[in-house]
């Protein structure tokens, strides 16, 4: 079982760039992995787990941490006075 970012699952098959099934992939070997819950983002690190429960827990933790991080980045600090000024200027 593996997790990659917010994706998790059991590796059902690995297919190389020539369309052949392979049992293992060395570093920098491109393979397509079948069996994940979602498509991971490019560059995500794959982590092996003993069972599906730990893989799923890791993926959910990763998702929760990134969601909080994204929310913090998008929060704009604005007072009511700033909001009122922007409305008067026609920016909102």
Give the per-residue pLDDT at 5.
Answer: 86
Contact, 13 vs 31, CB < 8 A? no
Give the CATH class of 2-89.
Answer: mainly beta
Q: Which residues contact 48 (CB under 8 A, 6 or more apart)?
A: 1, 2
Model pTM above 0.85: no
From residue 91, how far is each of 2, 76, 84 by CA, in Å? Answer: 47, 15, 10
Q: What is the DSSP string of 16-61?
A: ETTS-B-S---TT--EEEEEESSPPPTTPPEEE-SSHHHHHHHHHH
Whether residue 14 is predicted with pLDDT greater than 90 in this model: the reply is yes
Per residue in 36-52, pLDDT tens?
998 988 888 889 999 99
């Amino acid at each position: 079982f593996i997790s990659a970012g917010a994706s998790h699952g059991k590796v059902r098959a690995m297919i190389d760039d020539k369309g052949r099934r392979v049992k293992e992939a060395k570093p920098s070997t491109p393979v397509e992995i079948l069996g994940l819950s979602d498509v991971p983002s490019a560059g995500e690190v794959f982590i092996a787990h003993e069972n599906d429960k730990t893989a799923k827990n890791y993926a959910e933790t990763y998702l929760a941490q990134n969601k909080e991080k994204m929310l913090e980045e998008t929060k704009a600090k604005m007072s009511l006075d700033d909001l009122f000024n922007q409305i008067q200027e026609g920016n909102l």
